Amino acid sequence: MIRPYQSQHLTPLLIDDPAERDKAKREADQLPSVLISSASAANTVMLGGGYFTPLSGFMDKSDAMTVSKTLHTQDGLFWPVPVLCRTETANGLEVGHSVALKDPNLPDNPVIAIIDNVRIEDLDQSEVREICGQVYRTHDPGHPGVKDFVEQGNVILSGPIRVLNFSYFETEFPDTFRTAVQIRESIRSLGWNRVIAFQTRNPMHRAHEELCRMAMNRIGADGCIIHMLLGRLKPGDIPADVRDAAIRAMVDGYFEPGKIMISGYGFDMLYAGPREAVLHAIFRQNMGATHFIVGRDHAGVGDYYGAFDAQTIFDREVPKGALDIEVFRADHTAWSSKLRKVVMMREAPNHDVSDFMLISGTKLRQMLSRGEVPPAEISRPEVAQILIDHYQNNP
């Protein structure tokens, strides 16, 4: 099996032993505590589940700034985005002591983790701006990732952590949420060797379905992991439970049994385009995938990134040999009226734009909101009906 990123073993930071975890919970009740941001809680979940291997905790300001500028930590680890714990205030906290981190995404804000030997630093506005410019390539507050980053508290807490739970993800998505550890165990038990992963924050339509099938066939994959983001998205995106149902309807109806693993991970979307595509590749290597699909405008939003910037970053900025996972580079996929199938557009000679059935995301949402089933070449009817029900119940 492919090794974890820059490590021989996964480093999940969840306290695995139930007795030790209960002891840590009692300890946390006696510690000074602080409410952290949603993004910080998501980082905690990812650290707990092994997706951030080989990190041992949150980055300090020096690492955050160095990663933003050079894509490397102070000790030379290639890493694409800062992994921070941010809060509004450090009142009552002492440097070098332990701190209980409270989850903003659950009622009563239970403790999600403990930072030991904490370091406390402030990000000033110029540093926030610099990170946004480097990671998101824009300072525009209209960019949802920038907006979220700017609005988080500017106190940084760093140090090794002990994770106590996975927030709401295990209870709200018991059939879907999986840690990197659990996915590796599933791959091993299935006997898969070549495994391709597909990232999604959206429902999957016909083009996505066929892209997964194409990729599996071309690399000779034993299976494909459809790995959906379950955390916070921008307003207007489809909620995770609806996406989950739509993806399961597609897989159950149209894929060969035993070839697809549906799973999800507890992370808030960054919309950081190329930088986030590299982070996504690290996640998938850590969970055991050997190949990862990176398509057009992967992890992008609006017109902030070029159509294929998320692919070219692997050539221009990822050091040779840093990643073991292989990237499957996909073009825009669409139904060809000439060939009567979904194809990658760059692989369809003698085609004009009019030979493809193309519907914008905006137009598709408008159709679904009106209760109109899109053409079968665009969306499977079972998927469309789930989305129609959602839009009509949430006008």
pLDDT of residue 365: 86
**Hey, which residues does 78 pair with through a beta bridge?**
72
Mean pLDDT on 153-157: 96
Q: What is the pLDDT of residue 147?
A: 97
Share the mean pLDDT of the chain.
Answer: 96
> For the segment 335-383, what is each residue's pLDDT rounded down to a tens digit?
999 999 999 999 999 999 999 998 877 788 889 999 999 999 999 999 9
Predicted local confidence at residue 3, as pLDDT: 98
Q: How far apart are CA 52 and CA 71, in angstroms?
A: 15
What confidence category does residue 132 fall into, taking pLDDT thresholds of 50, 70 and 90?
very high
Calculate mean pLDDT across residues 250-268. Answer: 96
> By C-alpha distance, which of 204, 194, 193 is closest to 291?
194
Domain positions in the chain are 18-167, 171-265+273-393
C-alpha Rg value of the chain to the nearest Å: 21
Look up the CATH number of domain 171-265+273-393.
Answer: 3.40.50.620
Confidence check: pLDDT of 390 > 90: yes
Give residue 361's pLDDT.
77
**Residue 46 reports pLDDT greater than 90:** yes
pLDDT single digits (tens) 224-243: 999 999 999 888 889 999 99
18-167 and 171-265+273-393 share one fold: no
Q: Identify the band that residue 188 occupies on the pLDDT scale cut at 50, 70 and 90.
A: very high
Q: Which residues pair with 156 in a beta bridge?
A: 86, 121
Please give the positions annotated as active site: 201-202
Mean pLDDT of 58-70: 98
State the residue for tokens 């900025």: 317
CB under 8 Å, gap of 24 or more: what pairs does 303-309 form?
304/136, 304/137, 304/138, 304/140, 304/143, 304/273, 305/137, 305/273, 305/274, 307/332, 309/273, 309/274
Q: What share of the chain has pLDDT > 90, as a percent?
A: 94
Across the range 149-173, mean pLDDT stands at 96
Structure confidence at residue 299 (pLDDT)? 95
Distance CA 246, CA 384 (A): 8
Answer yes or no: is pLDDT of 23 > 90.
yes
Which of 56-60, 230-234, 279-283, 288-292 shows the lowest mean pLDDT across its residues? Answer: 230-234
Phi, psi angle pair for 138, to nearest 5°: -160, 155
Topology, domain 18-167: Sulfate adenylyltransferase (3.10.400)
Residue 236's pLDDT is what? Answer: 82
Q: What is the pTM of this model?
A: 0.96
pLDDT at 296 over 80: yes
Query: DSSP letters of 97-156?
Result: S-EEEEPTTSTT--EEEEESS-EEEE--HHHHHHHHHHHTS---TTSHHHHHHHHS-SEE
> Is the pLDDT assigned to residue 395 strictly greater than 80?
no
Q: Average of pLDDT values for 64-68?
A: 98
Is 208 a residue whose pLDDT tops 80?
A: yes
pLDDT tens, position by position, 109-118: 999 999 999 9
